[in-house]
Structure 1
Amino acid sequence: MTNTSAGNTPKIVLITGTSSGIGLHAAVAAAQAGHTVVATMRNLEGQRALLDAADEAEVSLDIGRLDVTEAQSVTEVVAEIVARYGRLDAVVNNAGSGHLGTIENETIDQVRAVMEVNYFGVVAVTRAALPHLRTSHGRLITVTSVGGVIGQPFNEAYCAAKFAVEGFMESLAPVAGTAGVSVTVVEPGAVATSFVANVGFDPAATPTGGDPFAAGLAAYLARTGSSFAAAQSAESAGAVVAALLDGDPPPFRVQTSDAARRFVAVKLADLDGAAVQRLTGGWIA
């Protein structure tokens, strides 16, 4: 059952990374608002949770496969959407993956893999979609992270990718704006999803003994565990994302919770970087 409100024009919306978490709930909320949602994911074997959520909400979704790290997958999906529906009004870049580690203990290939998913995947989808968003005067919404504003211990590669996304979008926004396309980055803080469980890190295998970073990592994991105990729900974060599809064009930067706003505010008012270093350094002391 949809409930398009007066003043909201139904849109053709592409959302990446919808098998779980924020992407799943954003897709369902957007469909509830009356939009036609093309909900994509890397592996269609993981669509069961999305299908169940759509059934519960009594909405229909156009579910398809899209791997943001495969150029052909990206171009084909965007072309298929335009061929099927005649236009593309909005894109939500949500696909991404977590990563935990520090550079001395990982390979350059691991770092590159993080960048491929979290940064180059966003760039690829954006590049393919922009000509169609120009035609529709559409919206480009990208889910980044508070980790795209404040670098965090043992998250060098992940935060670097999210910083890159924020820099890319902040630079693109005025250019896209001249063609009638609004650009927004969405910065969640701690969200109760499977994202953390999927970072590919086994706490039981935490280096000890001769590893100079073992104590800091243990402290970081303890602090992170406590922060996620009070995490925002994925449903509420997804609702924030979906709401950006309607009404006046949103601002460039949007946080999904008061906690995220407080955290990001530390950086945005920190001209010499000292406040951020005090904050994050305390996590691993």
Structure 2
Amino acid sequence: MAYGVDPSGFVLKRLPEILAEIQAANVATFGPGVTQTDQSPLGQLNGLHADLAATFWEIALSVYQALDPDQAEGVNLDRIAKLRLLERAPGESEIDFRQAITNAGRARIDMSDLSQALSAIAGVWVQTYVNDGDVADADGISAHSVAVAILGGDDDEIAKTVRAYVVPGIGTYGNTTLETTIEGFCRSIKIVRPAVVNVTIEVDVEAQSDRNGCPPPSALAIAAGLAQSLTGATRPRNGQDLTEFLVRQAIESRYPNVRVAAVRASRSPAAVGVVPVAFTFFEIMAVSADRITIIPV
């Protein structure tokens, strides 16, 4: 049997196999009458030799696992990520980080890598876009260009990160230009810094007790849940309109015993009116519980 690295992974040679090989080698050298019971001097040496060899094989397995992104953990996984210019995002789990390194289930490796790297910058929200076509797309992104919409973060760090993943010859698109210099070579990087637009939302809801007889959530709880669904990592992207469907999905998926009857909204501080409320690619809505009114009907 072959041991060590093979196409299926690492095959560990264990203590019983090692000891059997040593005993067989002794028989081949000294003949079948050689005494190597556990209590004999040769048997004691066999055991010591086998134990040391087994330790070596366990160390070899640990080294192999430390270099395999599917098995590495902790700092070893962080080291592997650096080979792909990736860093673990704050609070990111081992499973999610491992999938980012291996691109598991991701068809666009270049964009997933860029998003992962930018997400690792402290305090940012980021969305990446690409236009592979020969003309500008519906969002205005130039042909053969990448657009990075980002809130927060240090401009220099963002520019250097984008530059590491967007090779020369591929354009960048945005309303903010950042300058970078690496080893004497200068390059301008464009990013989208969307204008944050506060919105006011008013929702008519029909709420009832659930099938277990528990009362429906209060209006304040529904408002807080809606705000939580539309902020942070799950906030609507830049250019996304405020629609009835967006509000309905956020509330009804969180509270099964609440039905959205009507939605009115506006850009604050204007009075609420019919939806949708439209946003351009260079704008992004900001939702807060204190600007949400829930009206039971």
Is the TM-score greater than 0.5? no
The normalised TM-score by structure 1 is 0.26
* Higher share in helix: 1
Higher strand share: 2
TM (normalized to structure 2)?
A: 0.25
Q: Which structure is higher in RCO with an 8 Å CA cutoff and minimum separation 6?
A: 1
Which one has the largest radius of gyration?
Answer: 2
